[in-house]
Amino acid sequence: MAIGVIRETERRSLPFDKLGVIIAALAVYGAFLAPFATFRANRIVQGEGKAILEALPPSLGYGLLALVTFAIVVAVLKTSVPVRMAAAFAALLALGFLIGSCAGNLVPAENAYARVSPASGFWVLVFAFALLVADALTRLNPGPGLRLLFLAGALALVGAMLATGRWDGLSILKEYASRADTFWAEAGRHLTLALGSLVAATVVGLPLGILCHRVERLRAAVLNVLNAIQTIPSIALFGILIGPLGWIAAHVPGAEAIGVRGIGVAPAFVALFLYSLLPVVANTVVGLAGVPRAANDAARGLGMTEWQRLVTVEFPLAFPVILAGIRIVLVQNIGLATIAALIGGGGFGVFVFQGIGQTAMDLVLLGAVPTVVLAFTAAIVLDALIEVTGPKHSRGKAA
């Protein structure tokens, strides 16, 4: 017993943060062992990795290493949450600002073909300090409003970097500059696929979920069918839909005029719609099943009809669970819409697959990075909305 107490006391007295040690190991690798930037003679040849002191002018390189070292020490030691947050934000801001300086330092002014892009060391450092920020936020346990404020601040900083042209010398921005019109057109298609299929699935899935909650026999059949659809790989489902939609376009008058075709947006939209139904229907059933019986009994006692109970009692109580299903659908669809480019559906996947075909990784990033940012932003916003509409927040507000 005494030995166990001594070990527990020693463990608690250690000045090191366990997660901070992992973050520090990642940061040490990214700063001192991995290349910080990649230099290529043109957009498709194999690149040459450059360390921080090679990629940046000496004064900036040593300054960045000093700041990263300070942030590593802060992460390893059991420092206060505000200090950890400040160190992580300072490191991320410096990384974002200085990666733009690599192009001017590595590429001669008269060379229009050479490309510079962030290398593995940069991405590892960003991940490490983003993890430190996430850990600090978890310890702070901020409310939904503060989390949204942090998100808005991060997006504003990225927007400022883009607006000021700080990153214009990087390869991914050069890819964007040559495809700006196409980029925004594909962004619109990507959002149309992701949001349009979500709206359609919500319009169909909510009534279907309510019906499944009321009729137990129907519930098992519908959920089994929707579960079976979820097991079909996305590319396979796109392919399966080509035949039926092509037949409809050829034989149903007016179908082709409204956009129904074997390839293109139609099969992608239908596939995303089918994938979206299960989370919406299942969460509607679960949410309505979780409504306390006492609430329904009280509503009956007040003389409410079944429709009134559904609208004024059951649905508001089930709404956070239903919203969690909508969150799953939106994040899922933003990712799956990338695959739609394989069948002519457009979206950010156009750049991903063009880049793979041309072995141009910066073109791949031009499609992948916006997809990740959209999914991440959607998840945070809807998580905050779920928390705001949840029962705990409602009770706290009433109190």
Could you read off the pLDDT of 105-142 as tens digits, one per residue? 888 777 778 888 899 999 999 999 999 998 998 888 88
Neighbours of 397 (CB within 10 A): 8
Q: What is the mean pLDDT of the chain?
A: 86
The alpha carbon of residue 23 and the mean position of all alpha carbons in its chain are separated, in whole angstroms, by: 21
- pLDDT tens profile 16-65: 888 889 999 999 999 999 999 999 888 777 888 899 999 999 999 999 99
**What is the domain partition of the chain in residue ranges?**
2-140, 180-394
Pick the CATH number of 180-394 from 3.30.70.250, 1.10.3720.10, 3.40.50.300, 3.60.15.10: 1.10.3720.10
**With contact defined as beta carbons under 8 Å apart, do 130 and 95 qualify?**
no
Taking the domain 2-140, which CATH number applies?
A: 1.20.140
How many angstroms separate the CA atoms of 26 and 32, rounded? 10
User: What is the pTM for the complete model shown?
Assistant: 0.83
Above 70 in pLDDT, residue 399? no
Residue 49 backbone dihedrals phi, psi, to 5 degrees? -70, 140
* Close Cβ partners of 101 (under 8 Å, ≥ 6 residues apart): 56, 57, 60
Q: What is the mean pLDDT of residues 316-342?
A: 90
- Give the single-character DSSP code of 120: H
How many angstroms separate the CA atoms of 70 and 64, rounded? 10
- Tell me what pLDDT residue 394 has: 47
C-alpha distances in Å from residue 202, one per residue of 41, 222, 273: 49, 16, 9
Q: What 3-state DSSP class applies to 369? A: helix
- Tell me what pLDDT residue 277 has: 92
First vs last Cα of the chain: how many Å apart?
Answer: 45
**With contact defined as beta carbons under 8 Å apart, do 338 and 351 qualify?**
no
How many angstroms separate the CA atoms of 170 and 142, rounded? 35
- pLDDT tens profile 141-175: 888 888 889 889 889 989 988 888 889 888 889 88
C-alpha distances in Å from residue 288, one per residue of 91, 122, 304: 46, 47, 17
Amino acid at 21: V
Q: Does this chain's domain 2-140 share its CATH topology with 180-394?
A: no
DSSP string, 232-262: S-HHHHHHHHHHHHHHHHHHSTTTGGGT--S
Q: What is the mean pLDDT of residues 75-82?
A: 90
The encoded tokens of residue 82 equal: 């505000």
